[in-house]
Structures are given as structure tokens and as C-alpha cells.
């Protein structure tokens, strides 16, 4: 669903046996079951535009000192590259206006670049709250953003890492999409949610 706040949600399903704090470099493969959605509201109703599967062969690395630039906390290396042409808003007109607004023919990808976490999650049975930094690249504009995460252990083989952040179309020099000659207008603030399922490389 598309809410009044921009919600960036990262859920990471990591193959660890047993789950315990990481103390050395690890690499995780992004699985095809990962997904992303951009949710919002018009002056009439809510809508959701999403990509149900993530098809890029990407990885995310923890505790890797070769990550982009110098960063505090726990370094992360990883980029999600989402094809904007794959977004579906379940409404042909809205899908077309959404892709046009994001200038997908000129800038075909939405990129999320992971930079760090403030600390390594314990991945215990109780939720743990922490922050991290990412860079979002959209329509030729890059923004570094702080993300609020919640980490928790799901079972002996998986964990979750849920993050959120508010942004707006104007952050990326974009005007919210409209349809029906401007009678339907999308709100300035949007929510992005993405689910990552990762398999640890041994």
C-alpha cells in the first residue's frame, strides 16, 4: 500500500546455522524471491507499484573494508539494481504514468547502494533497533539517506532486517504523476518497501 510516509523496508532471509553475530567477512546472494514495491496515495485512493521478483545476480557483503568510500560502523558492499520497466501498478494508465514520471527510458534503473550499519545485529529472539546508511539513485539523482532498521531472528536458519525512511518525489527533482488530465494526482510523499532474501555463500 502507498502511505503518506516513504517506508523503505528491507527483510533479509539469511542462511546461517545457527544464527549468531558475524565477526568476519561474509557474502550473501540476493535470491529471486526478493521483491520491491512503491506505495502511495492519490487524491482519490491508494495504489501500489511493485516488482514481484528480483532477477539480478547481486550480492551483499558484510564487514568488507573495500566497500565504497570510508564509512563508520559495519561496512556493507552491495547494490540492488531494479528495472523500472518491470514495475506494475495493477492499472495500465497508472503504470504508464508512474514509469514516465521516473523517466525510465532515460534512467532505466532504480539503484539502492548499501553503505553501512551502525553495529552488527545480534539476530536474537527479541527485535533489535539500529540505523544504517544507503544511497538511492533515481532519475539521475543520488541521495544518501539514513535508514532505521529492526533486526530479529526468525529461526535457526533465517533472520529479518526491516528498514524504513521517508522521502518525496521532489527529493529526486520529480513531479508526482497525474492521470485523466490532472483530475487524479499522486501525493508528494511515497513509501518504498523492499524484501530481500539472501543465501549465505560458504
The pTM for the full model equals 0.81
Q: What is the pLDDT of residue 108?
A: 96
* pLDDT reading at 44 higher than 70: yes
Q: Which candidate, 40, 49, 36, 80, places its Cα nearest to that of 166?
A: 40
Q: What is the pLDDT of residue 5?
A: 39
| Beta strands at 184-185 and 158-164: parallel, antiparallel or unpaired | unpaired
39 neighbors 77 (Cβ within 8 angstroms): no
* Complete domains list, the chain, with CATH: 10-201 (2.40.128.110)
Q: Give the cell for residue 87.
A: 514495475
| In 41-91, alpha helices (H) | none
pLDDT in tens, 105-138: 999 999 999 898 898 777 677 888 989 899 999 9
Percent pLDDT > 70 in the chain is 77
Q: What is the pLDDT of residue 181?
A: 66
- CB contact set of 202 (below 8 Å; sequence gap of 6+): none
List b or e across 35-67, with b for residues whose CB sees 16 or more CB atoms inside 10 angstroms. bbbbbbbbeeeebbbbbeebeeebebbbbeeeb
* pLDDT reading at 14 higher than 50: no
- d(Cα 176, Cα 104) in Å, to the nearest integer? 14
197 neighbors 157 (Cβ within 8 angstroms): no
Q: How big is the CA angle at 190 (ends 41 and 30), to the nearest 5 degrees?
A: 120
pLDDT in tens, 58-75: 888 877 666 665 567 888
pLDDT in tens, 152-185: 766 555 666 777 787 899 999 999 987 766 677 8
Amino acid at each position: 500500500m502507498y502511505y503518506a510516509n516513504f517506508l523503505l523496508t528491507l527483510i533479509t532471509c539469511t542462511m546461517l546455522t545457527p544464527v549468531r553475530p558475524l565477526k568476519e567477512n561474509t557474502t550473501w546472494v540476493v535470491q529471486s524471491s526478493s521483491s520491491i514495491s512503491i506505495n502511495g496515495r492519490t487524491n482519490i485512493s491508494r495504489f501500489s507499484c511493485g516488482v514481484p521478483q528480483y532477477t539480478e545476480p547481486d550480492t551483499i557483503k558484510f564487514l568488507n573494508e573495500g566497500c565504497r568510500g570510508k564509512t563508520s560502523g559495519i561496512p556493507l558492499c552491495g547494490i540492488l539494481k531494479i528495472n523500472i520497466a518491470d514495475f506494475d501498478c495493477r492499472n495500465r494508465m497508472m503504470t504508464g504514468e508512474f514509469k514516465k514520471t521516473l523517466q525510465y527510458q532515460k534512467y532505466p534503473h532504480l539503484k539502492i547502494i548499501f553503505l553501512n550499519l551502525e553495529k552488527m545485529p545480534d539476530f536474537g529472539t527479541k527485535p533489535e533497533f539500529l540505523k544504517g546508511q544507503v544511497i538511492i539513485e533515481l532519475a539521475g539523482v543520488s541521495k544518501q539517506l539514513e535508514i532505521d532498521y529492526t533486526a530479529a531472528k526468525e529461526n535457526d536458519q533465517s533472520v529479518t532486517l526491516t528498514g524504513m525512511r521517508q522521502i518525496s518525489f521532489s527529493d529526486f527533482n520529480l513531479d508526482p504523476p497525474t492521470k485523466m488530465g490532472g483530475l487524479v494526482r499522486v501525493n508528494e510523499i511515497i513509501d518504498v518497501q523492499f524484501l530481500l532474501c539472501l543465501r549465505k555463500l560458504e
